[in-house]
Structure 1
Amino acid sequence: MPASKKLILIDLDGTLLNSRSEISSRNKEIIEKLISLNHYVIIATGRNYSEARQLTSKIDNLGYITSNGSYIIDKNSNVILSEEIKLSSAKKVLKLLAKYKKIAYYISSGEEIITDNKFNLYKNFFFATRHKLKYRKRLLASLFKIISKFKLMDIKGVNSLIAYLNKNEFCLHKIFVLGDKKQIEIASHELQNKFLRELNISSSGENNIEINAAGVSKGKALEYLCQELDFPITETIAFGDGENDLELFEKAGTAVVMANSSSELLKAASDLETLSNDEDGVAVILNHILSDDSFLIKKKNDNKIKFKSI
């Protein structure tokens, strides 16, 4: 039978976006179809609003949960939630991170991304992500990919992040850290130990750390959104591939993990497994929902459905 009204939350990197950071025509078409039938489609990402909006600019009437739940925008571009990191906490975190020489970091608001060492950020991003650029066969092409990404991000350089925050009003939604895997692991443990009650520490990959205000997560944002829309959370469907999607999976009515996810925790928390982001895994599930959503109830029998073909 036709699908009942759904609220659909879709992560960007590794989920809706393919390995070239593009939305396929197949994914675009099914999302537009669902929106035309009055389903809610929400982009739920760790990226800030400016990046998310640019990456999805060809699809109208999307809502956005950005910066891991810190900043929520409705389909009419109205801000409905903004959760900021306290200045005192941010300064302590930045001082702690400064001692790690093989990592880089930036701060972000809904519209801005700022760092105090662009070169170090570029370098660490390249070494953290080069293994994912399999379709790029030459180093020059890989570097072009990195440059294109940073052009989209429009990163602003300053001499000192702490000095900048002291002098300017900045809606700090997230601190993003990336770099050497070993130092990231050590820094993550130190942040967890020192800021457990002040901040939320998560990750979307083994080479990064994502820092938000305490209590902020995609899952909490989903609860807030359902309350604002007076929408039953049981009728929500979440797609993701990273561990910053974990609480979202725990809250959503149905959780769909991508085949390309490397997170065993996320896979364990999911109800369905779809194809990879390069195989239009999002569209595979959404097409099923559009034609007949009764297959979703099968998950209640504790038999996870795994989609293996398009």
Structure 2
Amino acid sequence: MFNDKIEMVLLDMDGTLLNSQSEVSPKNKEILKQLISKGYKVAIATGRNYHEARSVVKDIAGLAYITNNGSHITDFNGEIIFNRTIGQEDTISLLKIIESYPSLNYSLAAPEEIYMKSKLKFIKMVLSHKGVFKNKLNLFKSFALIKRLIRLFNSRKTSDNIYEVLKNSSLAVQKIDVMGKIDEMESFKKRIVESFGEKFKLSSSSKDNLEINPLNISKGTGLVYLADKLGIDVKNCIAFGDGGNDLELFDIVGTSVAMSNSEFSELKKKADIIAESNDDDGVAKILTRLLVVKA
């Protein structure tokens, strides 16, 4: 049910605030700027790391960031107020299990950098997932997606020996993102639980990925921490999302909005409101209607 005392807006990025070209539409951008100018608090809540999230919305001033699924939080002044990592030994143990599955690819996300096992495999997986190889996207969208992937390719790092990097650097791994075939992903998830019990927080932003965070870390815990710092009741917050990693956020927030393009039926069932898709300015349309700002 909608709470008319909204003080803070939380926004997932991919599939929610961002369209299929991984951009913030002019309408979405204008609405967020209006809300901030009127005194509303607006926070990004994403599985992306801080560097990538900030770079996509850099021309929107005054945002807070809950990134790496809640492992890293910065306030509205850009100050780090929360930071949690996966230990080095645990990271190495997890990577050895991942590497036993031929189809799985992984990335290690720190606040400012990301290491990947294979950039080429990652790009192939994303293109296949988005439907480029199946002609589901038109030519313009395909080129826009490829352009984005080239930026990711250039910004992410690889190493011939990631174990040496982990042992000899200060890389602060906050999230391990694993992508691959859905059947192998299910097997992998079961093996993680069998090997480590409930030592890690497991979530998914899409059907073909698994996101591994430190225990008791989620977008939901990130909301609670940020709201407490601001003296805001979580019931006076509205959150938008489309993925499995938004489920706990929806359990906590006062008003939850799922995108119509979401693949997660459970998320839609939890939601108070279903918005139009991320390609139809769903975020802007709901905020315009509920918070009485200009479209």
- What TM-score, normalized to structure 2? 0.92
Root mean square deviation of aligned Cα = 2.0
Structure 1 CA distance for aligned equivalents of residues 44 and 24 of structure 2 = 12
Equivalent residue in structure 2 for 1:134, among 136, 142, 145:
136
Contact 2:6–2:237 (8 Å) recurs in 1: no
Residues 1:232 and 2:233 aligned together: yes
Superposition pairs of residues 231-270 of structure 1, within 5 angstroms = 231-270=232-271
Gap regions ≥5 residues in structure 1: 293-309
Amino acid at match of 1:135: L
Counterpart of 1:156 in structure 2 is 157
Aligned twin of 2:51:
50
Structure 1 segment 149-298 matched on structure 2, within 5 A: 149-152=149-152, 154-291=155-292
Distance in 1 between residues matched to 2:288 and 2:120, nearest whole Å? 43
Q: How far off is 1:143 after superposition? A: 7.1
- Matched to 1:56, the amino acid is V
> What does residue 66 of structure 2 align with?
65
Structure 1 residues 127 and 143: CA distance shift in structure 2, 3 A: farther
- What is residue 145 of structure 2 aligned with on the other side? 145
Letter in 2 for 1:151: R
Partner of 1:307: none
TM alignment of 1:78-157, pairs within 5 A: 78-130=79-131, 134-137=136-139, 142=142, 145-146=145-146, 148-152=148-152, 154-157=155-158
Rounded to whole Å, the distance in 1 between the matches of 2:202 and 2:135 is: 27
The 1:99–1:146 alpha-carbon spacing in structure 2 relative to 1, beyond 3 Å, is farther
Please tell me the residue identity of whatever aligns with 1:281: G
Show the counterpart of 2:9.
8
The Cα offsets for residues 11-48 of structure 1, whole Å up to 9 and x where unpaired, read as: 00010001111111111111111100111000100000
TM-score (norm 1): 0.88
- Aligned pairs, number: 289
1:147 Cα shift? 5.2
Alignment partners' CA distance in 1, 2:6 and 2:265: 30
- CA offsets per residue over residues 169-214 of structure 1, 9 Å max, x none? 1111111111222212211222233233221111000111111111
Contact 2:131 2:137 (8 Å CA) reproduced:
no
Structure 1 distance, partners of 2:150, 2:168, is 25
